[in-house]
Structure 1
Amino acid sequence: MILLIASRKDGASMEMASRLLELFKFDKLDANRYTYKNYELKFIDNLHIYQNMEDLEEEVEKVVFLSKHSSKADIKSLTVHPIGNFRKAELGGLDNVIVPSDPLGMSASLRYIKNNYSGDHFEITFEATHHGPYMEKPAYFIEIGTTENEWKQEGIADLMARAIMEGVEKDYGNYVGVGGGHYAPKLSSYFFSNDINIGHIIPKYVHEIISEDEIENAVLKTMNCKGFLMDAHGTKGRVKDMIAGIADKHSLEVLKI
């Protein structure tokens, strides 16, 4: 079962949840839960980044969080990203702990958005791994940024809802992204032009503090990881050295772009 989480404290989350209920005819189980085929949509009262979920039912295969995207620079974006922290947990989750990524589902959603959005208001992109909540099931966030004007824009919540439900998972190789800024522009651009899935993304701003164990853990928490997709110019030397060792240890590819 795929669990979809909507937060009542998040306007974009509620817009996407509303469209899911209308487009896909979910059946109501109770005030907080709806079901459709292999999906369950669950409403929570708290902000999802702070609601850790260590005790999910065994039948839950993975979790998708519906969310707004916040940007100090007011970047208008449609994004997906893995969750967890490569540093102190300032926005939920645990310090230096990441959650299993969902490279197939997350990549399928972003690919669907890219292929079906025809406007020029939004940037469509991955974001680096960041923030909570903590859980032990594969998960990702799908987000509309940055204000009510964006998440109420005609057709956008529909697009995001359909991306979750209709994005086609491709059996491409799964890679850990490395380098570049928070929105991983080179990695995102490569992704849209090549047959590849991306799981965890390790941005340059954590390269001075990240450990070799944490990088290796990103591999282990990217299902069936085939290697690293590296923004070579946007990757610090110490991280390149650690990746070389990890790649050799696990017989992984290093694709440098």
Structure 2
Amino acid sequence: MILIIASEQDGASTAMAKKLLEIFPFERTGESEYKYGDYTLMFIKELHIYSNLTIHDNVSTVIFLSKHSSSAGVKSLTVHPIGNFREAALGGKSNIIVMSDPEYMSASLRYIKNNYNDNHFEVTFEATHHGPYLEKPSFFIEIGTTESEWSRENIQEIMVSSIINPEIKKYKNFVGVGGGHYAPKISEYFFKNDINIGHIIPKYVHDTVSLEEIENAVIKTPLCSGFLMDSHGTKARVKSMIEDVADRYSLEIIRD
């Protein structure tokens, strides 16, 4: 079962959830729960990044609907894995990441890219960041950055359709390394090549990220084949650790 979470404290989250109910035949199964085929939509009262969810064993993936916040006002349609490579300032646990779902998350982003035909929004991955912590493969799907963006019904439809109608590809799965928060080189390479992306370790954590955390990014990117590295956006100490982990786990390194 795919569990879709909408937070009542997040305007984009509730807007996408309402659009999901409008265009797909979900049936109400509880006070705040709806079901359609293998999908369950659940509304929660708390902000999702701080939630403490009890997830049933039959859930295979958890997808969080969310707004994207940007102090620079970046207008974006994004997906990203969750967890923290540093202190947990926005939910989750410090220096702990959550299992990613590279095939599903990558399929959703491909769907968005293929169905969005304007230049108002940037379509991109974001680096792994923020909570909540849970023990199921998970990712966020986000519209940024203000109500004028997330109130666009055509955008809502593209975003929720990317959850229900993605074309899952059994490409090789990679951990992204380097670059800024929006991982521009990793995103660009991804759109041009037949790969999937799981966790992304951005440059801003490279001074403190540990070898164990890099290994954990591999472990929590299921069936990981290697690393996709933004060479100019990766610090020397991290390059060295990537090479060490790649040697020990017999992983590829794609240097872009």
Q: Show structure 2 runs of 5+ residues with no match.
A: none
How far did residue 52 of structure 1 move?
2.6
**Structure 2 CA distance for aligned equivalents of residues 57 and 30 of structure 1:** 15
Equivalent position of 2:127 in the other structure: 128
**Local SS of the residue matching 2:231:** coil
Q: Output the CA distance in 2 between the equivalents of 1:168 and 1:128.
A: 22
Aligned: 1:30 with 2:26: no
The alpha-carbon deviation at position 6 of structure 1 amounts to 0.2
Q: Which residue of 2 aligns with 1:49?
A: 49
- Confirm or deny: 8 A CA contact 1:52 1:132 kept in the other structure: no
Q: What is the SS of the residue equivalent to 1:233?
A: helix
The superposition leaves residues 185-217 of structure 1 with CA deviations (integer Å, 9 ceiling, x where unpaired) of: 000000000000000000000000000000000
Aligned to 2:57: 58
Please give the secondary structure, in 1, of the residue aligned with 2:225. strand
Aligned counterparts of 2:169 and 2:110: Cα–Cα separation in 1 = 10
The one-character-per-residue Cα deviations of 1:119-145 (angstroms, maximum 9, x if unpaired) are 110000000000000001000000000
Q: Give the whole-Å Cα distance in 1 for the aligned partners of 2:171 and 2:84.
A: 26
Q: Deviations over 1:164-186 (max 9, x none)?
A: 11111100000000000000000
Conservation of the 8 A alpha-carbon contact between 1:178 and 1:228: yes
Determine the structure 2 residue equivalent to 1:39.
39
Distance 2:104 2:31 in 1: 27
Shift of residue 30, structure 1, vs aligned partner: 1.5
Check whether the contact 1:177–1:187 (CA below 8 A) recurs between aligned residues: yes
Q: Give me the whole-angstrom Cα distance separating, in 2, the residues matched to 1:215 and 1:60.
A: 26
Shift of 1:56: 1.3
State the percentage of identical aligned residues: 64
Partners of 1:52 and 1:65 lie apart in 2 by 13
Q: Counterpart of 2:70?
A: 71
Query: Which residue of the partner structure matches residue 159 of structure 2?
Result: 160
Checking the alignment, whether the CA contact within 8 Å between 1:86 and 1:96 is kept in structure 2 is yes
Instruction: Please report how far the alpha carbon of residue 33 of structure 1 lies from its aligned counterpart in structure 2 after TM superposition.
Output: 0.3
The aligned amino acid for 1:61 is S
Length-normalised TM-score, structure 1: 0.99
Distance across 1 between alignment mates of 2:189 and 2:83: 23
More off after superposition, 149-158 vs 126-135: 149-158
Give the distance between the partners of 1:188 and 1:106, measured in 2 at CA: 13
Task: Identify the residue that residue 202 of structure 1 maps to in structure 2.
Answer: 201
Partner residue in 1 for 2:172: 173
**What is the alpha-carbon root mean square deviation over aligned residues?**
0.6
Amino acid at match of 1:249: R
Alpha-carbon contact 1:226-1:252 (below 8 Å) kept = yes
Corresponding residue number in structure 2 for 1:14:
14
Letter in 2 for 1:22: E
Moved over 6 A (4+): none
Alignment pair present for 1:226 and 2:204: no
Cα distance in 1 for residues equivalent to 2:230 and 2:203: 9
Partner of 1:9, secondary structure, is: coil
Q: Which amino acid aligns with 1:45?
A: K
